Amino acid sequence: MGRSGIDPGGQPLYIDVMISEKPTQTVDIELKKLENRVDELINVCEKLTDENRELRMQKDNLHADRNQLMQKNEQVKTRVEAMISRLRSMEKNH
C-alpha cells in the first residue's frame, strides 16, 4: 500500500508532490532551491573572506605594536640600568 496524503508534520508527502507536478516543474523548483543555496554559500564565503582579511590586518597591526613596545621597553631598560650604574658609582665616590 503506497503512502500518500499528509505526513505527521502536516506537510504533503514528497511522493505526492512528485506525482502531482510535472517532472520539469519539479526539476526547475529543485534547481532554483539549489541555486539559492549556492548563492547563500557564496555570500557566506565572501563575508568570511572579508572577515579573514580584516583579522589578518589586525594581527599584523598587533604584531607591529608589540614589536614597538618591545623596542621601547628595551630602551627604557637600558636607560634604567645606566641610571642605576651612575647612582652606584656616585655612592662609591661619597
Average pLDDT over residues 65-72: 98
Q: Is 3 a residue whose pLDDT tops 60?
A: no
pLDDT in tens, 47-60: 999 999 999 999 99
Q: Give the Cα separation of 87 and 80 in Å (integer).
A: 10
Please indicate whether residue 91 or residue 46 has the higher confidence score (pLDDT): 46
pTM of the model as a whole: 0.56
pLDDT at 1: 44
Dist. CA 24–CA 17, nearest whole Å: 12
pLDDT of 66: 98
Name the grid cell of 69. Answer: 613596545
Rounded distance between C-alpha atoms, residue 4 and residue 11, angstroms: 11
The per-residue pLDDT for 20 is: 56
